[in-house]
Amino acid sequence: MSNGAPAQRMNHLFPVLTALAYLLSFGLYVRFLSTGSKLTGRLGSVLLGLGLIAHYFALLERSRGLHTVPYHDLYGSMSLFGWLLGVTYLGLELYHRQRSVGAFVLPFILVFFLAAHLAPADRLPPPAAHGAIFALHVALSILAYAAFALSFVLSLIFLGEERLLRRHKVGDVVWRLPPLELLAQMSQSSVLVGLVSIAIGTVLGFVWVDRLSSQYSFYDPKYVITLLVLALYALYFRLARTTAWRGARASKLCIFNFVIVVLSFTVVNLYLSHSHRYF
Amino acid sequence: MEIVLVGLNHRTASVEVREKVSFTAEQAQRAAEELRARGILEETLVLSTCNRSEVYGVPPESSHECAPGLSTFLSEFHSVRADVLGVSLYHHYDQEAVRHLFRVAAGLDSMLLGEAEILGQVREAYRFAHERGATGPVLNRLFQGALEVGKRVRTQTELGTRPMSVASAGVKLAERIFGKLNGHRALVLGAGTISEQVVAHLRDRGVAQLRVMNRSRDRAEDLAKQYDGRVTEWGEWDTALQSPDVVVSSVSAEEPVLRRDVVERAMAARGNRALFLMDLGVPRNIAPDVAELYNVYVYNTDDLSEVVQQNRSARESEIPKAQGIVDEHVDKFLSWQASVELVGLMDALRMKLREERASFLRARMEPMKHLTETDRAHVERLMDEMLEKLLLEPAERLRGERELRRKIQNVEALRDVFLSNREKP
């Protein structure tokens, strides 16, 4: 771990347990996809759940150790993103009773969790903002990004399966992947979670700015790109359900939208925004 | 407690012979009653499907001895010459009979590897025989085991999950797009045999609305009536293609029935909702360029046959796993059988030793006039206690034997050594 001296003093138990649970869960999801064994799939879900619990305690422990919120630095922000991605996926899996996409989602969760540990040490001053509204603003924004990331993965799977079906290449995987309509529904559910979260999160952000400075600041490019993201996903949600865009075109739009999200998360946060470094 | 099986199936008998030897429900009941009345079998179960006719039973005597009687019975019952029937029949005894039934229930012995219907047929045959009192403890246990095997093979392997006919492959592929088909709509072009097969599959999958379109309205009405569908006038493409999610075409036509412009118009009218087209006609009923349209999935006979071929290979690769489940349950059944036989053997031995003890004491205590009745009863009790101890030790050893084959061999050895044929349980 390279998160400074306080982090090094912290217990490594929860991060290790988290990594182990995620890795095992990933293996089980892959096995479920290749064998179709229901028991293996259920075990994959259980291990993901256990991993999320361990991950939660890892985040909590670190926050307590550093006396700050998890999203204060790049480590916490990425780790929280991975955790929320897992929570959103598990919720979606339970809601739609469909676990064959787990094998595609777990690598993203794992990458964010592990990459967080490789992130450079931050020596940022304590955040200027405090309070429940600010915390909710950040948590909801990261949840929205996680939900959008999930819809991105689901859209990629949709396009892959659709391509295989159109080319009549019906191999082992196609029989085990969710039907196209269900994938589209799952992606839309995920986008809905993201839309609601980002809408509330953005409103809370403006409320917080208003309280802090008694006036809105319209100069942060982050506001513009967040509103653009909101508009693009709202457009996707509308097009995917009612018009000629349904199907592969909607999935392509969803992938494009996520590129904008990544842009917002990286270029805008790091180089353009002055108050949104890691979320 | 032996098991005998005499029967024939698609591998050993031609369809003509299978037709003659098949049982209706009434015949199955009558055959079971006659077999028990004649003393050929004590427990009986007849399993009759379009591909097999099998009689399972527990004979009063040795299973090998009753088999010829069973063959003769079948020949007489169905009025088929014994020499004609003889070459088609197979006989299995005990372990092999158990293994055969478990393989049947697993779908491993079916003409269509892994077919799902056979498990339902085994369940129905068992229910029918059980309700009429034709089965007993052995066949009850055997068939409950078979049903468990069938269920496990279907849930734990992929032997029966993938479609093996062109019609079912098409319907399953439609499910890859729409998910469960209940609530979805289908249109069938043509009213021939192939269309009927697909319609049957679609109805099984709970398709909400079914429309049939055929040049001859009478035939369309027949098919629609049979499957609770409706008829649409031939040629009204714009209306007909607006609502269905699945279209199945199997029409005899020189030119494609569905051209690109027709489907393109329909897709615009239906807001590009996905459309699955199954073209089972030869020559093809759907113009090849229809497949280029957005959200349109076209599968013709060749495409579906290729899918079926892939699935056949996938099913075959699941055979070892299914066979493992069969073996596991055969061992379980034989273990139960050996335990039951051990109990029966011990009871028979106990009875024999008590008889021996009684005659021994009668002969030896005759001259001992000085013994009172209490003394004599005491001596009898002591000898009984000793016999129980002598019996208990081998019984416990046998019960604790972990290796099934050795357990069965030991039970048989004990029976052969101590009991005559007449006394064997």
Give the pLDDT mean for B314-335: 91
- Using alpha carbons, select from B272, B275, B285, B290 the residue that is nearest to residue B244: B275
pLDDT, position B252: 85
Domain B166-310: homologous superfamily in CATH: NAD(P)-binding Rossmann-like Domain (3.40.50.720)
pLDDT tens, residue by residue, A53-95: 999 998 888 777 766 666 666 677 788 889 999 999 999 999 9
Query: Sign (positive/negative) of CA torsion B211, B217, B220, B224?
Result: positive
Boundaries of every domain in chain A? 1-119, 127-279
- Asked if the Cβ–Cβ distance from A168 to B306 is below 8 Å, we say yes
> Residues near B2 by Cβ (< 8 Å), separated by ≥ 6?
B58, B59, B62, B63, B93, B94
Q: How far apart are CA B276 and CA B274, in angstroms?
A: 7
B170 near B198, Cβ under 8 Å? yes
Nearest to B178 among A179, A244, A249 (CB): A179
Interchain contact A248–B (C-beta under 8 A): yes
Instruction: Kindly determine whether residue B271 and residue A165, on different chains, have CB atoms separated by under 8 Å.
Output: no
Q: Measure Cα distances from B207 to A263, B99, B186, B246 in Å.
A: 45, 39, 7, 10
| B138-179 pLDDT, tens digit each | 899 999 999 999 999 988 888 877 777 888 889 999 999 999
Cβ <8 Å between A170 and B295? no
Q: Do A172 and B314 touch (CB under 8 A)?
A: yes
Q: How far apart are CA A140 and CA A87, in angstroms?
A: 13
B50 is catalytic: yes
Nearest CB partner across the interface for A170, out of B156, B178, B307: B307
AA letter at A205: G
Q: Which of A164, A168, A242, A243 to mutate to test the interface with B (most CBs of B within 10 A)?
A: A168
A contacts of B268 (beta carbons < 8 Å)? 244
What was the pLDDT predicted at B345? 77
* CATH of region B4-161: 3.30.460.30
In chain A, residues with a C-beta closer than 8 Å to the C-beta of B155 are: 38
C-alpha span between A239 and B71 (Å, rounded) = 70
pLDDT on residue A3: 46
Identify the burial level of A224 via C-beta atoms within 10 angstroms of its C-beta, where 0-12 means exposed, 13-18 middle and 19 or more buried: middle
Element (H, E) at B277: strand B275-279
Report whether B92 contacts B5 (CB < 8 A).
Answer: yes
Radius of gyration of chain B (CA): 31
Question: Of the residues B50, B282, B351, B392, which is catalytic?
Answer: B50
Cβ neighbours of B362 (radius 10 Å) = 9
pLDDT tens per residue, range B369-425: 788 888 888 888 888 888 888 777 777 777 666 665 666 677 777 777 776 655 555
Q: Which residues of B touch A249 (CB under 8 A)?
A: 294
Instruction: Report how far apart, in Å, the C-alpha atoms of B284 and of each of A114, B169, B187, B293, B341 are.
Output: 54, 18, 17, 17, 64
Indicate whether this complex's ipTM tops 0.85: no
Q: What residues pair up with B44 in beta bridges, in sequence order?
A: B57
* 3-class DSSP assignment, residue B372: coil
The answer to whether the Cβ–Cβ distance between A247 and B299 falls below 8 Å is: no
Spans of all domains in chain B: 4-161, 166-310, 330-423
| Residues of chain B positioned with their CB less than 8 A from the CB of A36 | 158, 161
| Mutate: best of B176, B184, B276, partner A, most A CBs <10 A | B176
Cβ within 8 Å, pair B294-A249: yes
What pTM did the predictor assign? Answer: 0.70
Q: Which CA distances in Å does B192 have to A222, B278, B385?
A: 64, 15, 79
Please confirm whether the linkage preceding B283 is cis (ω < 30° from 0).
Answer: yes
Per-residue pLDDT of chain A (279 residues; tens, 9 = 90+): 344 444 444 568 888 999 999 999 999 999 998 888 888 999 999 999 999 999 999 888 877 776 666 666 667 778 888 999 999 999 999 998 889 999 999 999 999 888 877 766 555 555 555 677 878 888 898 899 999 999 999 999 999 999 999 999 887 788 889 999 999 999 999 999 999 999 999 888 888 777 766 555 556 778 888 889 999 999 999 988 877 788 899 999 999 999 999 888 777 777 776 666 655
